[in-house]
Structures are given as C-alpha cells and as structure tokens.
Amino acid sequence: MRILVTGGAGFIGSHLSDRLLEKGHSVIALDNLITGSTDNIAHLAGRRDFKFINHDVTEYIYIPGEIDFIFHMASPASPIDYLMYPIQTLKVGALGTHKALGLAKEKNAGLLLASTSEVYGDPLVHPQPESYWGNVNPVGPRGVYDEAKRYAEALVSAYHRTHGVDTRIARIFNTYGPRNRADDGRVVPSFVCQAIKDEDLTIFGDGEQTRSFCFVSDTVNGLIALMESGYHEPVNIGNPNEMTVKQFALEVIRLAGSASSLTYRDLPVDDPKLRKPDITTAGRVLNWKPEVSLEDGLKQTIEYFRRTVL
C-alpha cells in the first residue's frame, strides 16, 4: 500500500514508518517539525519507497496519486510541548484532523487517528476501558491536549458515520523507547537522562501516582494490527503492567547503574493519579498484546540515550 503518516518525523511516527517499510509498503511522511525531527528519519533518505514532505497538516494537503491509508499521528504529545504550543495543539486536533479526513475521503483511503489515554483525564474508573467517557478539565492547562484529542475522536467518528470513511481510533498509552526527545519532559526520557548523568531523578508529587509503559515497537505493532482489522471503535494500545512513578524511578536507577537519588516537587495541575489500560478489546479484536518487558525496553532506551546525550 501507499501510506501517508502525518507526524512522520516524530517519535512514534518515525518508528511506524520504519515498520511499514519493512512490511513492503511505501510511505510518505508529512511533518512541520515543530516537535519532530528529520534526525528520526535520516536513515530513510534516498529510499525510493519513502518520501518526506515538510508541511503543516492544518493547511490544505495535496498529495498526487493514490493513497491507501493515512496514519494521523501529528500532534505535540508531551506536557512541555502542548503547554508551549497550546494553540497549535488545538489546531492540529481540530483543523489537522479535518484536513486528514478530507484527504481520506478524496482518496477513498482508510484513516487511523492516534488518540491518547489523556481522553480519560484524571480517571475515576480503573483500569480504563474504552467504554469510559473520562474525567477531563476542559479549561485547565492540560485541556488543550485532552480536548483536542476528544474532539478529533468525535470528528473521525462523524466522518465514518456520515461519509463512510474507513476509520480507526487508537488510544495510545505511555510509550517510550529510542528517539524519545531528551527534553520533552515525559517521565521516561527525563528519568533516564538524569540517571545516566548521576543526577537526582525529579518526581512530581509523592511518586505514588501510577503509570503503565509500553515499548515503542509494541505500540507500532498494535497500530498496524488495528489498521489491518477493519474495526472502527476506539481501541486502547498500551501495556497494563502498572507501577508507581517512584517504583519506576528506582528501576531506571538500577538498570542504569546510577548513583542518583530521588528528589520531589509539587504535582502539576490535573496530573492523572492513575493510568492503566484495559486491553481486553485489543486482545479480542486484534490478537495483540505487548511483548517487550520493561527491563528489556529500558535497557534499549538507556543505551540510546547514552549514545545521544552523553
């Protein structure tokens, strides 16, 4: 197939492009490089089955020729990024999704929306199944990301019901691995970079809030399985192995062989206290589950940051 990946120079988007090429598809990666980087796709330069277009997905998208499928991955995704680019985050969720859906309708292509576990907000249901509608503060600082993705899901669903566009919705939970930006503020790159420098690991709050971490290759395999499924309802893609942030910090220190200690700061506004995906639907519909252990994934991630940061 000929596949368009918006946000194709981003963390997950670049890994997705790699995997699609491995499966024999041709890939067009579209990115305006606000948070993505051509470093993530430099190894693909010169390939006849890969093309990069520097373009803002919120503007009209012109792609000559046929397109079989669109992965709409474009969006700032870390708190540092969407707090720095709040308007752009809202625009890519609304206007960018609208433009991507318009292209899918024009080309008679399928489209997968990369949504997020943040649609559940600070959840009152645990673990979080796709049937849970969420607990989101629409006017808080995190609302620009949460509500952009919630609106994008509504728009994708409307295009499916009204125009018959062949859509998918993936609710992606915390994903980590090589090509995470060192400065994107998320817990994995922050902890790993601090640990390999023997700096204190910064925990926000008391560290008892929970997270679940999915290695990027597992997330990508889940996205591709969803693409191939023909399933139109939202699907959680994540690892249900839940742990506290403090437990995770200590594991990073252990695997990095670090002399770091822990330091604590105030919890940000509306930071979720619990995060664990219910992946029953992914197992039933996609026959998918994460395969990479936290230890193996962290070892690969630590090695990546040792090469790129130190």
Cα–Cα distance measured from residue 96 to residue 88, given in angstroms and rounded to the nearest whole number? 10
Token couple for 123: 């959840």
CA gap 47, 149 in Å, rounded: 33
Give the list of residues 6+ apart from residue 129 with CB closer than 8 angstroms, or none: 236, 278, 280, 281
Active site residue 151: no
State how far the Cα of 99 lies from the Cα of 60, in Å rounded to an integer: 6
Residues sharing a CB contact under 8 Å with residue 297, sequence separation 6 or more, in sequence order = 176, 177, 213, 215
Query: Are 215 and 222 in contact, with CB atoms under 8 Å apart?
Result: no
Question: Which residue in the block uniquely carries the two structure tokens 């019901």?
Answer: 161
Per the rule left: phi > 0, alpha: psi between -120 and 50, beta: everything else, 121 is left
Helix (H) or strand (E) holding 30: strand 26-31
Q: How many CB atoms lie within 10 A of CB 45?
A: 9
The tokens 């600070």 sit on which residue? 122
* Active-site residue (options: 82, 85, 120, 145): 145
Instruction: Report the catalytic residues.
Output: 145
